[in-house]
């Protein structure tokens, strides 16, 4: 009996150590050469940005600041990462850039409220991001989309603030932005020009469709939807047709970022009090965990 008790205790300690090692992992983003994935993890006690190989191996911590460093995005050459952080005063979240090894952190915005989810334009001359005027999410302020030069200059707000407009990203040629908005009462997917004009809805649905990302050739869109009862990853043609579900779990899937070759999608999933990062082929096959947490099947 004593031996059994010792084994149980050791197994419990091993499980706790594994949970401590992996932590909560979210907001994955491919490097443009497909070799690395940047992500946020609290495995060391505070949400920081990490870098790992595309197979999940060799995770390296890049940031060391109090507060939630999140939503990393690589420059085309892989030498820089733009991200969001509240590190300046612990209250307002702003946009920063650093070298891909974590060195030379530079603050690009100095906004009140919450500025986040930054993405470089294809020519890397611009950065698009979302911004909310306050951090008090009990008020009626809305998420707005902003564009600025890559050095933080010439910032302009391109949506009105009448609805929540979020998670913008660029088309391959830089001529349009993909984003989601609740302007119809449900989260729906739209495109617009980088100056905020010519807004077009991709597909009108009665579901919440959000967190949309173009494939590298702009022919497909990966997105998150609750159309089958829980938040899952889907893929559709860029015109909103031929919708296919890729995941089918009891957890909450978030995002869906394409690899540079368009063959794989990386995403995060929340369930049972923790978050993990996963990879799946664009046809829905070969689902695998990159951070050690298993998905809950239906």
What's the mean per-residue pLDDT of the chain?
Answer: 91
Is position 75 within any domain?
Answer: yes
What is the pLDDT, as a whole number, of residue 7?
34
Average pLDDT over residues 157-173: 97
Query: What strands, in cross-sheet order, belong to the sheet with 70-74?
Result: 70-74, 80-85, 94-99, 106-107
Average pLDDT over residues 240-255: 92
Is position 54 within any domain?
Answer: yes
User: Beta strands 48-53 and 60-61: pairing type?
Assistant: antiparallel
Report CA dihedral (283, 284, 287, 289) to the nearest 10 degrees: 100
**Nearest to 273, CA basis, from 31, 61, 19:** 19
Average pLDDT over residues 239-255: 92
Taking the CB of residue 54, how many other CB atoms lie within 10 A of it?
Answer: 17
Average pLDDT over residues 142-171: 98
Query: What strands, in cross-sheet order, belong to the sheet with 244-245?
Result: 209-214, 220-225, 232-237, 244-245
- What's the Cα-to-Cα distance from 36 to each of 7, 57, 182, 229, 256, rounded to whole Å? 38, 10, 33, 33, 16
User: Beta strands 156-157 and 252-258: pairing type?
Assistant: unpaired
Per the CB < 8 A criterion, the answer to whether 193 and 175 are in contact is yes
Is position 40 within any domain?
Answer: yes
Radius of gyration of the chain (CA): 19
β-partners of residue 241 are none
DSSP 151-215: TS-S-EE-S-SSS-EEEEEE-TTSS-EEEEE-TTSS-EEEEE-TTS-S-EES---SS-EEEEEE-
Tokens 């890397």 correspond to what residue? 124
11: pLDDT confidence band, cut at 50, 70 and 90? very low
Per the CB < 8 A criterion, the answer to whether 247 and 227 are in contact is no
Q: Residue 84: pLDDT above 50?
A: yes
Is position 252 within any domain?
Answer: no
Range name among 39-43, 51-55, 125-129, 290-294 with the lowest pLDDT average: 290-294
What φ, ψ does residue 20 adopt, rounded to 5°? -65, -35
Per the CB < 8 A criterion, the answer to whether 177 and 145 are in contact is yes
Is position 44 within any domain?
Answer: yes
Q: Residue 100: pLDDT above 80?
A: yes
Per the CB < 8 A criterion, the answer to whether 35 and 53 are in contact is yes
293: pLDDT confidence band, cut at 50, 70 and 90? low
What is the pLDDT, as a whole number, of residue 5?
39
Is position 80 within any domain?
Answer: yes
Is position 237 within any domain?
Answer: no
Average pLDDT over residues 54-79: 96
297: pLDDT confidence band, cut at 50, 70 and 90? low
Range name among 117-121, 246-250, 256-260 with the lowest pLDDT average: 246-250
β-partners of residue 156 are 147
Provide the domain limits for residue 55. Answer: 25-86
Count of domains for the chain: 1
Is position 56 within any domain?
Answer: yes
């Amino acid at each position: 009996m004593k031996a059994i008790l010792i084994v149980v205790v050791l197994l419990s300690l091993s499980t706790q150590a594994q949970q401590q090692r992996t932590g909560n992992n979210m907001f994955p983003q491919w490097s443009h050469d497909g070799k690395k994935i940047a992500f946020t993890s609290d495995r060391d006690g505070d949400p920081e940005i990490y870098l790992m190989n595309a197979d999940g191996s060799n995770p390296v911590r890049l940031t060391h600041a109090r507060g939630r460093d999140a939503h990393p995005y690589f420059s085309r050459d892989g030498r820089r990462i733009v991200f969001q952080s509240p590190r300046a005063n612990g209250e307002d979240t702003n946009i920063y850039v650093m070298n891909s090894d974590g060195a030379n952190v530079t603050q690009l915005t100095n906004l009140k409220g919450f500025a986040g989810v930054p993405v470089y334009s294809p020519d890397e001359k611009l950065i698009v991001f979302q911004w909310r005027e306050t951090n008090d999410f009990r008020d009626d302020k809305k998420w707005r989309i902003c564009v600025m030069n890559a050095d933080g200059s010439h910032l302009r707000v391109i949506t009105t603030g009448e609805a929540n407009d979020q998670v913008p990203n660029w088309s391959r040629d830089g001529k349009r932005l993909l984003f989601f908005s609740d302007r119809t009462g449900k989260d729906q997917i739209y495109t617009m020009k980088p100056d905020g004009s010519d807004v077009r809805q991709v597909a009108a649905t009665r579901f919440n469709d959000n967190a949309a990302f173009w494939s590298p050739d702009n022919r497909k869109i990966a997105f998150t939807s609750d159309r089958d009862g829980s938040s899952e990853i889907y893929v559709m043609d860029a015109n909103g047709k031929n919708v296919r579900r890729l995941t089918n779990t009891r957890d909450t899937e978030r995002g869906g970022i394409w690899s540079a070759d368009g063959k794989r999608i990386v995403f995060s999933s929340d369930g049972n009090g923790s978050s993990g990062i996963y990879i799946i082929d664009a046809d829905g096959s070969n689902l695998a965990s990159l951070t050690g947490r298993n998905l809950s099947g239906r």
